[in-house]
Amino acid sequence: MQFFGEEAMEKKEAPSTLKGIMTTPVITTDIDSSVQEAARIMTEKRIGSIVVTKKGRHVGIVTERDILQRVVAKGLDASKVKIEMIMSQPLVTVDEKMTILQAIRTMEKSKVRRLLVIRNNKLVGIATQRDLLRALMFHVLISFRPLL
């Protein structure tokens, strides 16, 4: 499994900020979309969450877990439930220059699993717990490489 490519391994440098690990582009859906439409997009894009926008501004996020707990488990019709009714808010946004350790602390403090990454007040990426764990694993691998 490759984490951050051959060049990072050769340089023996692991990404230290969110800019180096965030996922781009961020997939979004409009606030008026149905849960079914959002789930279809998430399935097509193979992603676990989707950012909800209103007039081009990010206002919430919906995860697979939200859909399961707030729609499927309650037996609701996903084609009739608006995404606005199940989205989580407020969003936790951070600068792309934030370090991985700061991001982990922010997630823990905010009790979230995803951070929206901002550059010049524009949404440019998303960083998940998995992304941060992968980055930490890469740091460990790089640090032990001289011993191997």
Domain map (residue ranges) of the chain: 6-147
In b/e form, how buried is each residue of 21-44, taking b as 16+ CB within 10 angstroms? bbeeebbbbebebbbbbbbeebee
- Sheet with 122-128, strands from edge to edge, namely 93-95, 114-119, 122-128
pLDDT at 6: 45
Residue whose tokens read 């936790």: 92
Low-confidence ranges of the chain (pLDDT < 50): 1-3, 5-9
Residue 61, amino acid: I
DSSP character at residue 125: E
What pLDDT score was predicted for residue 32?
A: 96
Q: What is the pLDDT of residue 23?
A: 93
Q: Which CATH architecture has domain 6-147?
A: Roll (3.10)
At 144 the pLDDT is 72
